[in-house]
């Protein structure tokens, strides 16, 4: 299983991932690092754990809003198209769960 090193708030973290997912993990880490950097500019270096929690909460909120929007669109989509959308949402949810599971088993 490949391992990549990602840097968040100036600190490197090793993260295990599936073969071929290395760049995706780097991109996700870059998103998190951007959120942490924005909070650091707003509140100063308020402690790494606090900055990471704030970034996680904001990203979780953005994900929840996106899921709500998808559910709203799915509710307004005719049944013939709804199955394809539901399948897409299921695949997206599975991918998110897989990334979360990998992050939980890494040393972050």
- Residue 19 has phi, psi (to 5 degrees) of -55, 130
Per-residue model confidence as pLDDT tens for the chain (108 residues): 899 999 999 999 999 999 999 999 999 999 999 999 998 888 877 788 888 888 899 899 999 998 888 888 877 766 555 666 677 777 777 777 766 666 655 544
- The 10 Å Cβ neighbour count of residue 15 is 22
pTM for the whole thing? Answer: 0.64
């Amino acid at each position: 299983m490949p391992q990549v090193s990602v840097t968040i708030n100036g600190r490197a973290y090793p993260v295990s991932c599936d073969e071929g997912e290395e760049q995706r993990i780097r991109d996700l880490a870059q998103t998190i690092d951007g959120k942490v950097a924005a909070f650091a500019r707003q509140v100063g270096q308020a402690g790494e754990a606090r900055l990471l929690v704030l970034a996680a909460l904001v990203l979780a909120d953005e994900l929840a809003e996106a899921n709500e929007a998808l559910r709203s669109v799915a509710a307004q989509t005719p049944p013939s198209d709804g199955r394809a959308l539901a399948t897409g949402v299921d695949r997206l949810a599975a991918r998110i769960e897989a990334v979360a599971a990998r992050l939980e088993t890494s040393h972050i």
